[in-house]
Amino acid sequence: MTDPNNPFAAWMGQMQDMAKTMNPALEHFTPSGFEKLWPTMPAELVEQFMGKGLNPEGLDAKTKMLLTLAGLTVLGAQAEAQIRMTVRQAAEQGATKQEIAETIGMMGLFGGLPAMNKAMELATDVLEDDK
């Protein structure tokens, strides 16, 4: 991803350089490393960005987390750390196991059964670990 003609690669390179400047240890930081560091967002941050902080008449944080989970599932459930973090956060916002399973299950229609199965496996692991 170092092609200077690719704007995405250029942006990623700039973000990586900025992260390394702020903290050299971030050079090798991964989503699963972030998950270990910060398994769920602080309540204040959730309210500000995922709750009604920016739009008092908008969707609540639980609904936004379920929508995020749906999108991650449709993408092929490739973002394992992000799915685990989103499931954990959805549960923190009051989503039931049934709501989480139904959200993932519905996405099998759009993302395919392998993506749905992988997301369901990840969600099950998270929800069993958090007992």
Q: What is the pLDDT of residue 39?
A: 64
Q: What is the pTM of this model?
A: 0.66
pLDDT of residue 11 exceeding 80: no
> What average pLDDT does the structure give for the chain?
81
Which residues lie below 8 Å from residue 16, measured CB to CB, with a gap of 6+? Answer: 27
Tens digit of pLDDT for each residue in 57-110? 878 889 989 999 999 999 987 888 889 989 999 999 899 999 999 999 999 999
* Residue 1 confidence class, pLDDT cut points 50, 70, 90: very low
Tens digit of pLDDT for each residue in 102-119? 999 999 999 999 999 999
DSSP 94: T
Query: Can you give the residue ranges of every domain in the chain?
Result: 1-37, 39-129
Q: How many CA atoms lie within 13 A of 113 on its CB side?
A: 0
- How many helices (DSSP H) and strands (DSSP E) are in the chain? 7, 0
C-alpha–C-alpha distance, residues 73 and 76, integer Å: 6
Tens digit of pLDDT for each residue in 38-52? 666 666 666 766 666
C-alpha–C-alpha distance, residues 65 and 73, integer Å: 12
As given in the structure block, the two tokens for residue 110 are 């759009």
CATH 3.60.10.10 fits 39-129, yes or no: no
